Structure 1
Amino acid sequence: MKGLERITLDPNVMGGKPCIRGMRITVGTLVGLLASGYSNKDILKMYPYLEEEDLREALTYAAWRSEEFEAPLIIA
């Protein structure tokens, strides 16, 4: 998705899962923490190398992926 400069996909980092700025912290980890009730402040304290914008982009990316539709490729 355009405009998400902080979300990286690298096969050499966390098996290619979407990560924050090439670090070994996945979008899924952050979304899971937020869904479990941790606040942005809590997460930034646990991961001091993250920034508020990292959390916003993780949620934006997760929302975008949840709406994405994958259609099977049919070869005739």
Structure 2
Amino acid sequence: MTLAGFPRIAVDPAICGGRPIVAGTRMPVSDILEMLVGGANVDEIVADFPYLSEDDARAALDYAASSGI
């Protein structure tokens, strides 16, 4: 189920223990945040995970900023 206001972010208790993920993937928002904190930029993340788009990575960051994670 995608989250209200965040159509690219989903939560499903059967996937990744219910942690927020990029919709349609098993990529947790927290993993994207960890990569960004570790110094990766959005272009590098998309290159390493071709099933993600720049919009997916930015949506994860927007979700984290608004939810306080």
Does TM-score exceed 0.5, indicating one fold? yes
Task: Provide the rounded CA distance (Å) in 2 between the counterparts of 1:13 and 1:2.
Answer: 18
Q: What residue in structure 1 maps to residue 6 of structure 2?
A: 4
1:56, distance to aligned residue in structure 2 (A): 1.0
1:46 has 2:48 as partner: yes
Q: Which has the larger radius of gyration?
A: 1
CA offsets 1:20-39 (integer angstroms, 9 cap, x no match)? 01311000000110111001
Mapped partners of 1:66, 1:3: distance in 2 = 15
Letter in 2 for 1:38: A
Q: Distance in 2 between the 1:62 and 1:21 partners?
A: 15
1:29-44 paired onto structure 2 within 5 Å: 29-44=31-46
What's the Cα RMSD here? 1.4
Q: Which runs of 5+ in 2 are unaligned?
A: none
Distance in 2, Cα, partners of 1:23 & 1:10: 11
Q: How many Å apart are 1:64 and its aligned residue? A: 1.1
Residue 58 (structure 1) shift: 0.3
Tell me the secondary structure at the aligned position of residue 43 of structure 2. Answer: helix
Q: State, as a whole percentage, how many aligned pairs show the same letter.
A: 37
